[in-house]
Chains A and B, each alone.
Chain A
């Protein structure tokens, strides 16, 4: 026991120097202000009422003037459904393409609801059952035989016994048989330990937030039995082109600075173009809403747009004149769009001929794309 106390202390000491502090520490002041003024009913062991949790995520101003910064910019409905799901003791599954703030939302939800976002299982292809149930301290096990002391509880188990929120990242990457360990936990709310003839029963306040990528959901699709235990919330991509351009250019700026790449104001046109192309192909309709286009198999997420632009900047800086030009991004776009060499190529050419060719001021871009496409 003493070991764990020591580690907690040292963690506290290191908190200030952490490269990236946990949500509950970074926004401790906001959480405290919300808790102080929250007079609505709280579910058992919740640090805040569902309403206050929603406010924490969406931002707002409290009666005493405390400003709560928005953690998630997006439809209010999504946050409300997510928080309500946790309040109904159903597990929450956050779906979305990469780069839609799934992990970010799950961390802040856990921080606001339980005041602790660290009960985390990272899902990988190699995640074992022990990571979700429990493992054994073999030295103890050999020395004293099976006992509670020899047991190493998983984050999920600790969340159950303490009535906290557990998080599972990338649920669909976990092998199917390991995923199914969650079924008993979520439906019976209990975790049997047959070696000891005991069980850990979840106390009120326990819940689970899982995130998964819905683009390559084929990795280890959830069994319908498990899926039934989750309420699903899909986190959308940015709603408007301007918002997305803003996100991309800000992120590109940050990345570029760390790589010593220059960005000029001319670059913004190219960024806008990349974002427009990505959005149009993703949504299957042109920005003016008048022409439909086919969507390719790739994700075309905001994150990919960022990497296309960063790539183009590197090209421009090292091989060009430092100004981001259509030719610098064309190859990157082609690579992002054409994932399936047969079907996607046709889609891309159709898009080029039907949309890009006709568009005013896109002549250079069209030509650059034709060059790399052939």
Chain B
């Protein structure tokens, strides 16, 4: 045989492919069907040989990946992803279905994982290959680009599949092999000496297989790039020499489920693809791929309630075909179909197009792996951590108290939080009994058998608990819609100590905050974020980024709040009051963080911070002041703002009284007035005591209430009842007494001392009756006790009594 498609020396049929190329896959199937080899060799780690039978298992559904990892170090791993349309997968299924032996011939993972100088890529998210690297990774793409194509699959279709080859299924591989030879003459080994070693190993394996099954009876499916190397004549001795002394580690393999989205990550085969959904479609569509694709797109858009008729589909296909003709291509590819979909079905807009890209061009396909596949490394990593932390998985409920100041306990808490992020609900946080300090945590542990399944599922995310939780958190962050969910996630990232996930979460948080127009959402998100800041302090994590985001968030709340508080209904206003309270509390904590020097801003001077830029607290004061003074703002929020300012010492008592007088004056609606009062003194925040002690305020309330007309009184009664019924009984009674005693509003400095339960002026007659007893108590036995003198003494006695009454 003189076929160029066969290894000149080894007598094997070389099928050079494009990894994840549906065109290659179809060609490989045709070639295998025509040649019917006795053995199929596939580029991949030989450790996977015993696992290959699982490919025929019912429960195996691509996309899946072969995962190799170092036994004691699950973090060092490599993936060989296989989609339904991968030529390797097609070859494996072809062989396993017919009982033909399959062997993997690439360098064993034991060696490739032992190399530490090169990232294996499992933890890195696909680095973009450039220049020479690109040639090695996807040589077909380079050939296609040279020919002026942007999609290598279309180039393959145009050049290989649509060319009349006279039915010779091997012709494409011959041509491709020749092209690769030319490429490698130019580019050499693509700058990767590692390839030489791998190719030497492949040659040796091929040679051995040919010896076993006979010349021409062996088919090799490998990346097209390697074809020239396998064709090359090299002595066994030379190949052996290349392989000598390679470092080695103990490696294990298993199948893991994969997703279309992750196919775009370069690992193992080193070839990521941008449009797995489109490739899958090309592979599975029996004919008329463009027509079928457009129908799919139309279906998707209809599900999203867009008007897309069959006429649209027809026109889109026509446009795509004509575009292809104009660009000089025999068949419409992804670019043409995308352009056509945009112009015809999406009315020129990129928004629905993004949906098409996400759901169809990439796709949401999730692979499955049979249960009989070996345990995933994540499980091993978990087992090791459990052993290290002396946390046994038990089926019984168990409470676990953790003191986060202790190292082991902190590590346990971190592990449990990470598992929760991964959906492995082994421990549920419970309410601490005793202490409520931030350094204590209580967990309820219970290991259910199905948690093992969850761990296996979580294996998609990574090989260690840390790595998996990090990628899961990052993916969750990108997928979350509500702002509060993202802040919650940030909190959980801190609890689970995932420093690498935090930047992603923070970026998403910043974006969501910037685009969220609802101040309520922002205000809800802020407390959790500030709380996270404090957790971070307890656990010693770096929270600078978090603090910046929190400050930004606060800034947005400040800008948006005055507008958001206007024109609210009763319920919305109450909710907004809650937001104002939450923000107030958060700003208090944030001030400590933001200013650095906390003490300076507590003073009564509403001044500027050090850099000329007012610090976050004083900005908040000015927002509150604005809220307090604006009539359009809901009464309950206005009242609340005044109260917060008053409590913080930012508002003088007189000013507060003035504002209250304004709010309660005759010109304003009684219902608004009642709401103002609720905001000011309601909600169990010690408002009752305030009224008790500041009679002026109480007088204002009293005067207002007396002046309310009969009709309006019925309206405001429920509101007032809600406000005052929340007070403690003692406060209520005192207030009642004060009010019954009549108006104390005669003049601001009341002559009496304004003690609850006592009149403004002394009843001299009754007071005198006490004097002898008091004298006795004080040991003042002096005889001369004129009435005048008694009067002066009385004041002092009165004060003493007051002290006793308190």
Contact = CB atoms under 8 A, between A and B. Distances in A.
Interface of A: 50-51, 54, 77, 80-81, 83-85, 87-88, 90, 93, 95, 214, 224, 227-228, 231-234, 284, 291-294, 342-343, 346, 349-350, 353-354, 357
Interface string B466-489: 000000000000000000000000
A349 B563 CA distance: 12
Given A224-B307, A231-B343, A354 B552 contact: yes
B514 A291 contact: yes
15 contacts: A80-B323, A81-B342, A83-B326, A85-B319, A88-B315, A88-B322, A228-B309, A228-B311, A232-B343, A232-B348, A292-B511, A346-B559, A350-B559, A350-B560, A357-B613
B639 to A, nearest CB: 24
Contacts of A84: 319, 322-323, 326
Given A88-B318, A349-B559, A80 B510 contact: no
Contact of B343 (A228, A233, A291): A233
Contacts of A292: 510-511, 514-515
Interface centre among B326, B344, B560 (most CB of A within 10 A): B326
A80 B318 contact: no
A346 B318 CA distance: 47
Contacts of A90: 315, 318-319
A85 B343 contact: yes
B556 interface: yes
A245 to B, nearest CB: 24
Contacts of B340: 81
A87 B315 CA distance: 12
B243 to A, nearest CB: 47
A292 B613 CA distance: 22
Given A54-B326, A87-B326, A292-B515, A354 B343 contact: no
A95 B560 CA distance: 34
Given A54-B326, A87-B322, A293 B555 contact: no
Interface residues of B, number: 33
B547 to A, nearest CB: 15
B627 to A, nearest CB: 15
Contacts of B342: 81
B517 interface: yes
B652 to A, nearest CB: 25
B740 interface: no
A354 B555 contact: yes
A228 to B, nearest CB: 6
Given A85-B343, A87-B322, A350-B555, 12 more contacts: A54-B326, A80-B326, A81-B340, A81-B343, A87-B326, A90-B315, A90-B319, A228-B309, A231-B344, A291-B510, A346-B563, A353-B555
B731 to A, nearest CB: 40
A342 B565 CA distance: 13
Contacts of A342: 563
Contacts of A354: 514, 552, 555-556
A47 to B, nearest CB: 16
B339 interface: yes
B525 to A, nearest CB: 15
A73 to B, nearest CB: 19
B514 A81 contact: no
B185 interface: no
Given A77-B339, A291-B510, A346-B560, A232 B323 contact: no
Contacts of B514: 291-294, 350, 354
Contact of B326 (A51, A93, A291, A294): A51
A87 B321 CA distance: 11
Given A232-B347, A350-B556, A354-B552, A284 B323 contact: no
A342 B315 CA distance: 43
A231 B552 contact: no
A294 B322 CA distance: 39
B440 interface: no
Contacts of A343: 517
Contacts of A227: 347
B312 interface: yes
Interface of B: 307, 309, 311-312, 315, 318-319, 322-323, 326-327, 335, 339-340, 342-344, 346-349, 510-511, 514-515, 517, 552, 555-556, 559-560, 563, 613
Contacts of A291: 510, 514
A88 to B, nearest CB: 5
Contacts of B344: 231-232
5 closest A-B pairs by CB: A232-B348, A234-B348, A292-B514, A231-B343, A232-B347
Contacts of B309: 228
Given A228-B311, A233-B348, A342-B563, A50 B319 contact: no
Contacts of A293: 514
Contacts of B517: 294, 343
B545 to A, nearest CB: 12
A292 B307 CA distance: 31
A234 B307 CA distance: 19
Nearest to A90: B315
B690 to A, nearest CB: 34
A353 B517 CA distance: 16
A95 B510 contact: no
A4 B241 CA distance: 92
Nearest to B318: A88
B555 to A, nearest CB: 5
A15 B181 CA distance: 62
A90 B320 CA distance: 13
B319 A88 contact: yes
Contacts of B326: 50-51, 54, 80, 83-84, 87
A349 B558 CA distance: 10
Interface centre among B323, B343, B510, B560 (most CB of A within 10 A): B343
B339 A228 contact: no
B319 A231 contact: yes
A214 B348 CA distance: 10
Nearest to A234: B348
A188 B348 CA distance: 24
A243 to B, nearest CB: 20
A347 to B, nearest CB: 9
Contacts of B555: 350, 353-354
B498 to A, nearest CB: 22
Contacts of A346: 559-560, 563
A357 B614 CA distance: 12
A51 B344 CA distance: 21
A224 B322 CA distance: 24
A85 B222 CA distance: 42
A234 B342 CA distance: 9
Contacts of B510: 291-292
Contacts of A50: 326
Contacts of B307: 224
A224 B311 CA distance: 12
Nearest to B309: A228
Nearest to B563: A346
Contacts of A350: 514, 555-556, 559-560
B620 to A, nearest CB: 13
Nearest to B561: A346
A95 B318 contact: no
Contacts of A234: 348-349
Contacts of A284: 515
A294 B515 contact: yes
A95 B348 contact: yes
A284 B307 CA distance: 28
B315 A231 contact: yes
Contacts of B311: 228
A232 B556 CA distance: 38
B9 to A, nearest CB: 48
A302 to B, nearest CB: 19
Nearest to A92: B343
A320 B790 CA distance: 81
A346 B623 CA distance: 14
B348 to A, nearest CB: 4
A343 B564 CA distance: 10
